[in-house]
Structure 1
Amino acid sequence: MRVLSLNVGRPKSVPYTAQPEGLTGIEKSPAAGPVRVAAPGPKGKAGSGVAGDAICDRRHHGGNDQAVYAFAREDLDEWQETLGAALPDGIFGENLTTEGVDVSGALIGERWRIGREVVLEVTSGRIPCRTFAGELKARVPEGRTDHWMKRFTERGAPGAYLRVLEPGEIRAGDPIEIVHRPGHGVTVALQFRAIAGENRLLPEVLAAGEALHPETIERARAYLARQQAGRQQGQGQAEGQGQAGPDERDGAPEAV
């Protein structure tokens, strides 16, 4: 298991982003040498955990729990065959293009040691967005990426966001060692399904505990609260229907 490439992006102006400035950093390419990786700070204020990597939409991307994005070369190769077009490392906006790692099958809270210094922890899958779809449409022959967000979601291999536990430098060729695997069984793929439409799975992913992306925890707890409120409301209605009304009691006058 190893890092095939460590990829960084520079801001560029495009017509397919919702950002007011029209900028995106999704186009990433392999860095030539070692690159420092560290926790960037809270989402909304901080960008990428990879030095020199641009995050232009800080509302949805970047921050400590999405510091690094990893995608498996094996999954890129499958998409390459499906689309009939070359997909170089970094084209999905990933910082780490990996080899030999089941990225979407990784467990939430799984920890990877990369090289000699860096330790990363898996937090969540990646939800496809309009900018991602626009970037693929711009770089792949016309028509082959139609309905991209739906197709990417249905494939169920979203890649993984990771937080930085121990900072340091990463370079292409660095080995990846899984140094911790939790016992809960909640994978990136399962968490992705839960937040991408299969709400019934949300309670299940809470088994991953605090290693989960905070937004997933919040969403799952809100879902459980709605379910509980619905059950209580239904129970109250059932109890109300079971009580005799004024015209149903013994000796009650008939309606006129």
Structure 2
Amino acid sequence: MKLLSVNLGRRKYVQYTDHPEGVTGIDKRPVEGPVRLAAPGPKGVGGSGVAGDDVCSLRHHGGDDQAVYAVAREDLDDWERELGRPLANGGFGENLTTLGLDVSGALIGERWRIGSQVVLEVTSGRIPCRTFQGHVGEQRWVKRFTERGAPGAYLRVIEPGEIRAGDAVEIVHRPDHDVTVALQFRAVTTERALLPRLLAAGDALHPEAREAARKYVARHES
């Protein structure tokens, strides 16, 4: 398992975003050399956990619980075959493009060591939005991406440091539950009846997903 690329996005003006200023950092490109990762601060205040990566909509993106976004190269390859066109590393707006790692099959709370310094913890799957659809340029993209159910993973930074393309990725902790990124994604999108199962992931689960699960349980127990 290894890191194929570290991808950064710079603030740019586009026609397809709901951002009031018409800007987004979703167009991420691989970069050379080491890049520093660190916890950026709470959502709404902190942006990306990846130095040099712009987050324009702090309301929906960035913050400690979604500091880094990872996508498996294998998933990009699957989409390449379906779409009939190439998708570069960073093509889904991911910070990390991995190889040999089942990103959407990772457990919530699973920890990855990348290189010699950085440890990340899986928190949730990525929810597709209008900006993502515009960036990819495919009709019905949000629906198609959701139906596929392989969203990639958001991660928080547990141990900061530098990473670079080619670094080894090692799973250093797997929690004792069965709540995967893919299951969490289905629970908050297409299969709400799965929400109670998310609570088994405890505090490692993204706070917004945890709150949704708690509200669902409270409504159905009353």
TM class, shorter-chain normalised?
A: over 0.9
Q: What per-residue deviation string (whole Å, max 9, x for no partner) do you get for residues 71-124 of structure 1?
A: 000000000000001100001000000000000000000000000000000000
Q: CA deviation at 1:198?
A: 0.9
**2:200 aligned with 1:207:** yes
Spell out the pairing of 1:217-228 with structure 2 (5 A cutoff): 217-228=210-221
Higher RCO (Cα < 8 Å, 6 or more apart): 2
Q: 1:7-37: CA deviations, max 9, x gaps?
A: 0000010111111110000000001110000
Structure 2 gap segments, 5+ residues each:
none
Equivalent residues in 2 for 1:5-154 (5 A)?
5-137=5-137, 145-154=138-147
1:218, CA displacement in angstroms? 0.4
* Deviation sequence 1:17-62 (CA, Å, 0-9, x none): 1111100000000011100000000001110000000000111110
Amino acid at match of 2:56: C
1:177 counterpart SS class: strand
Q: Which residue of 1 aligns with 2:173?
A: 180
| Secondary structure in structure 2 of the residue aligned to 1:4 | strand
How far apart are residue 158 of structure 1 and its match?
A: 0.2
Hey, what's the Cα distance between the residues in 1 that align with 2:72 and 2:140?
22
Q: Distance in 1 between matches of 2:15 and 2:220?
A: 41
Which whole-Å CA distance do the structure 2 matches of 1:4 and 1:65 have between them?
Answer: 23
Give the number of the structure whose alpha-carbon radius of gyration is greater.
1
Listed one character per residue, the Cα deviations across residues 188-212 of structure 1 (whole Å, up to 9, x for unaligned) are 0000000112110000111011100
- In the TM superposition, what whole-angstrom CA distance separates every residue of 1:125-181 from its partner, at most 9, and x where no partner exists? 0000000000011xxxxxxx2100000001010000000000000100000000000
Q: Give the drift of 1:225.
A: 1.1
Whole-Å separation in 1 of the counterparts to 2:9 and 2:149: 25
Distance 1:170 1:93 in 2: 18
Secondary structure of 1:29's counterpart equals strand
Identity of aligned residues (%): 71
The RMSD of aligned alpha carbons is 0.5
Quick one: distance in 2 between partners of 1:170 and 1:198? 36
Which consecutive residues of structure 1, in runs of 5 or more, have no partner in the other structure?
138-144, 230-256
SS in 1 for 2:75: helix
What is the distance in 2 between the residues matched to 1:62 and 1:196? Answer: 20
The amino acid across from 1:42 in the alignment is: P
Distance of 1:86 and 1:197 partners within structure 2: 28
Equivalent position SS for 1:215: helix
Amino acid at match of 2:82: T
Superposed structure 1 runs of 4+ greater than 4 Å apart: none
Tell me by how many angstroms 1:226 deviates: 1.1
Counterpart CA distance in 2 for 1:147 and 1:13 is 22
Give the distance between the partners of 1:116 and 1:147, measured in 2 at CA: 41
1:159 aligns with 2:146: no
Q: Partner amino acid for 1:167? A: P
Aligned length: 222
